[in-house]
Structure 1
Amino acid sequence: MTSDETINGRAVTEEQISAWAAEAEVGYDVDALKKRGRGRPGRGTEPSQVVALRLTPEELAAVDARAEREGKTRSDVIREALAASAA
């Protein structure tokens, strides 16, 4: 392993890799792993669908400026705009 291997900016050592391998060899509690959840939290009872959207640099800058101004995420601003448009 090279010295530039990192996770979240921290160097991964041979000792850490050995510890991970030993943990894996013992086995994992599958039920406990499933309880942790995976990925981002859901927005409702059904899984959300990711939709690609192409914006010009100017449009994206306007979305980002509004998100910053209102303390929201880019996705929140886009969802609100879609909801207002559909109403």
Structure 2
Amino acid sequence: MERDETIDGKPVTEEQIAAWSAEAEAGYDVAALKKRGRGRPGRGAEPSQVVALRLTADEIAMLDARAEREGKSRSEVIRDALTFRA
């Protein structure tokens, strides 16, 4: 390798790359991969959509303070605000 690559701070060896290559060439069990539960859990029957939101530094500070006070994430506080206003 030309440069030192790491994963979680551990060096990637030529042996590991060869093993990954052999695994890929042998093919993957798609059903097993789907069972791994990757990604964030769903919030309902339909897929969620990510929405970008621009906030000032003061607004972010207020959002973070409320989230901390209520033991919630930023997203939960924003969703609560939308539900409350609807």
**TM-score (normalizing by structure 2):** 0.84
Runs of 4+ in 1 over 4 A off after TM superposition: none
Encode CA deviations 1:32-87: one digit per residue, 9 max, x unaligned.
Answer: 1122244211100100011111100110111112212222111111111111111x
- TM-score in terms of structure 1 length: 0.83
Match of 2:50 in 1: 50
> 5+ residue gaps in structure 1?
none
Identical aligned residues as a percent:
75
**Which consecutive unaligned segments of at least 5 residues does structure 2 have?**
none
Report how many aligned residue pairs link the two structures.
85
| CA distance in structure 2 between the aligned counterparts of 1:14 and 1:69, rounded to whole angstroms | 49
Aligned-residue RMSD, C-alpha: 1.6
Matches of 1:37 and 1:70 in 2, distance apart?
Answer: 28
**In structure 2, what is the Cα distance between the partners aligned to 1:50 and 1:79?**
12
Query: What is the CA–CA distance in structure 1 between the aligned matches of 2:58 and 2:9, rounded to whole Å?
Result: 32
1:6 offset after TM fit, Å? 2.4
